[in-house]
Structure 1
Amino acid sequence: MKDMPETQGLVIVGEAECERLVGRKDAFDAVEAVFGAMAKGDAWNFPVVREAIGYADALYGFKSGFDKAGKVLGVKSGGYWPGNMDKGLTNHQSTVFLFDPDTGQLAALVGGNYLTAVRTAASSAVSIAHLARKDAKVLGMVGAGHQSQFQLRAAAEQRDFEKVVAWNPHPEMLPKLGAVAEELGLPFEAVTQEQLGAQADVIITITSAFEPLLMKDWIKPGTHIACMGTDTKGKQEVDAALVAATTVFTDEVAQSISIGEAQHAIAEGSLTEDRITPIGAVINGAHPGRSSDDEITLFDGTGVGLQDLAVASVAARLAEEEGSAKRVSL
């Protein structure tokens, strides 16, 4: 793991330590760097395994990869348990395993729940930083679940927003998101989907929907959309015609066309793979990103294993430096 002190045994970093040690800036920097490394061919993800286990309506799988530039090798194991909220747990459960790339030995075991939320928010924040109009004033939030609060906090740091408008299929969940906006000093308004599209300069979708929640005709010119919920075949948050009408960027093209938001436009032939650009190319300066104030840009954030490994490596390094990491021998 990059910059980690050499120690004996397995480092264990729990959820509480991850939340205390890894801030939004740490996550942003780690995710931005790994996207850049991916675009240069210095880091790559391995094929994703994600399956319904036939029990508890759960989805379970593995995301893994190797960042040669950052010397980070590992796997995130976990998934989605929809009944967890009723048990006082988050629906997304995961753990990150980091290995020494020089020896293959297990080097760290890191709680993945908080890190999944903070790295997902960092991913959309990176897209806003590089693709949204500089004068964006209204942030639109589609979704009000657990991860939406992370998304709102991270997005608010990227532009001088003056207002947050939000819609959620379950309106009773919106007040919690509104409380975060109030904490950030931003006026908050619950609106219809059409009103959200008409007002928002930046839109983040963070749901588990399997049907479009935003339609092409509702979105105004110059909007940046970060689609962060679609990470499985069949999921969908926005109209395929909207995707096809935008300039599309993504974390990884292979996932975008197969399990990401672009899958539907690709399937109907309205979008081709060569029109999807890795956001790392923008980060590295190989692609200009937004070309005009009227252009609608879309980031298809499918979630890649290298994001998880990057932030977990930061957590392990910080815990080691602080001396708070537990250590055991296998």
Structure 2
Amino acid sequence: MTDGLVIVSEEVCQQVVGRGDAFTAVEQVFAAMARGDAYNFPVIREAIRHADALYGFKSGFDRAGLTLGLKSGGYWPGNADKGLTNHQSTVFLFDPDTGKLKALVGGNYLTAVRTAAASSVSIAHLARKDAKVLGMVGAGHQSSFQLRAAAEQRAFEKVVAWNPHPEMLPKLGEVAAELGLEFEAVDRDRLGAEADVIITITSAFEPLLMAAQIKPGTHIACMGTDTVGKQEVDPAILASATVFTDEIAQSISLGEAQHAVKSGQIRENDITPIGDVINGTHPGRSDGDEITLFDGTGVGLQDLAVASVAADLASKSGAATRVAL
């Protein structure tokens, strides 16, 4: 990038960053984290007591990719009624050699695409090769991103889905139809019985899937729990599964594993960074009956990685705006 502050709008991010770009960026940063070449700083996430919003910062540094910065934003549950995305965020990238602000990147689309990339990385490395049925728990804004990304990792034939608000499911069904996949709205018992891969992407504070509902060989990507108190699945599922995560510190403190660790059903050393599987230092799935679970807490380095790609691609294509700060 040349001199000046690079500004990449939401519209430009959507134009230049595809699912493949996001997958590669997230896979590489997970690998760098596992090698010790990249690390996240402590997360700040607070209820601001206004508009029922959660607001915070995620930050980190990737020495391998020379990416330094932060994402600022959060969750505004009333935004849907205003025609806005509930998740609002912006990424700030700094020059690691000078500390100078070098890019300002819209974070809403990138948050959705990097979250989907994380679950698809977990599917690529942990799901059974013969997986045919994808289960979706959740039908909100991010669910369509999750479905599209997951569909590229296995030869799925059908999608079974459940949402606490069933009126939202037809929209997800339209995405499945676009992908040429059969779609059926089902109860949670059927979802667990049929799905080979399950993605949970909700804002739940209670378990939506119980251990008895999960069949052997299932891969589960828990993508909604990113705050203390949130929960999407029964802790007993983690106790019966081989558990992987993006970052162990977040997994046990604010991710899905927080509940299983607190109740003593698993320990911190029962959780493996998925970067170890990517790097080949952990075998990943051992057999067809093993239940694997990816606790996708959402680390700042994911945001920085995809924002850096957006800034580079937008600059090269001439789509970025440049200003003097």
- Which bin holds the TM-score, normalised by the shorter protein? over 0.9
Gaps of 5+ in 2: none
Q: Does 1:306 align with 2:301?
A: yes
Match of 1:222 among 202, 213, 217: 217
Partner of 2:24: 29
Count residues with an aligned counterpart.
325
Aligned residue identity for 1:18: C
Cα distance between partner residues in 1 of 2:315 and 2:143: 30
Aligned residue identity for 2:37: D
Map Cα deviations across residues 131-183 of structure 1 (whole Å, 9 max, x no partner): 00000000000000000000000000000001000000000000000000000
Once the two structures are TM-superposed, the CA of residue 8 in structure 1 deviates from its matched residue by: 1.3
Once the two structures are TM-superposed, the CA of residue 316 in structure 1 deviates from its matched residue by: 0.2
Cα distance between partner residues in 2 of 1:324 and 1:282: 36
Cα distance between partner residues in 2 of 1:133 and 1:319: 36
Q: Does 1:242 align with 2:237?
A: yes
Partner of 1:8: 3
Q: Does 1:60 align with 2:55?
A: yes
Match of 1:122 among 117, 124, 144: 117
**1:148-167 equivalent positions in 2, closer than 5 A:** 148-167=143-162
Once the two structures are TM-superposed, the CA of residue 243 in structure 1 deviates from its matched residue by: 1.3
Aligned residue identity for 1:216: A
Partner of 2:253: 258
Cα distance between partner residues in 1 of 2:71 and 2:289: 39
Q: Does 1:112 align with 2:107?
A: yes
Partner of 1:91: 86
Map Cα deviations across residues 259-297 of structure 1 (whole Å, 9 max, x no partner): 000000000001000010000000000000000100000
Aligned residue identity for 1:43: A
Partner of 2:169: 174
Partner of 1:48: 43
Once the two structures are TM-superposed, the CA of residue 105 in structure 1 deviates from its matched residue by: 0.1
Aligned residue identity for 2:283: P
Cα distance between partner residues in 2 of 1:39 and 1:320: 30
Aligned residue identity for 1:145: G
Partner of 1:185: 180
Q: Does 1:231 align with 2:226?
A: yes
Cα distance between partner residues in 2 of 1:8 and 1:155: 38
Once the two structures are TM-superposed, the CA of residue 25 in structure 1 deviates from its matched residue by: 0.1
Structure 1 residue runs of 4 or more that deviate by more than 2 Å after TM superposition: none
**1:136-155 equivalent positions in 2, closer than 5 A:** 136-155=131-150
Q: Does 1:197 align with 2:192?
A: yes
TM-score between the two structures when normalised by the length of structure 2: 1.00
Map Cα deviations across residues 24-65 of structure 1 (whole Å, 9 max, x no partner): 000000000000000000000000000000100000000000
TM-score between the two structures when normalised by the length of structure 1: 0.98
- What secondary structure is seen at the aligned counterpart in 1 of 2:206? strand
Once the two structures are TM-superposed, the CA of residue 323 in structure 1 deviates from its matched residue by: 1.1
State, as a whole percentage, how many aligned pairs show the same letter.
80
Cα distance between partner residues in 1 of 2:193 and 2:118: 24
- What secondary structure is seen at the aligned counterpart in 1 of 2:319? coil
Map Cα deviations across residues 85-125 of structure 1 (whole Å, 9 max, x no partner): 00000000000000000000000000000000000000000
Q: Does 1:316 align with 2:278?
A: no
Cα distance between partner residues in 1 of 2:33 and 2:211: 30
Match of 1:282 among 277, 284, 292: 277
Aligned residue identity for 1:133: R
Root-mean-square deviation (CA, aligned residues, Å) is 0.4
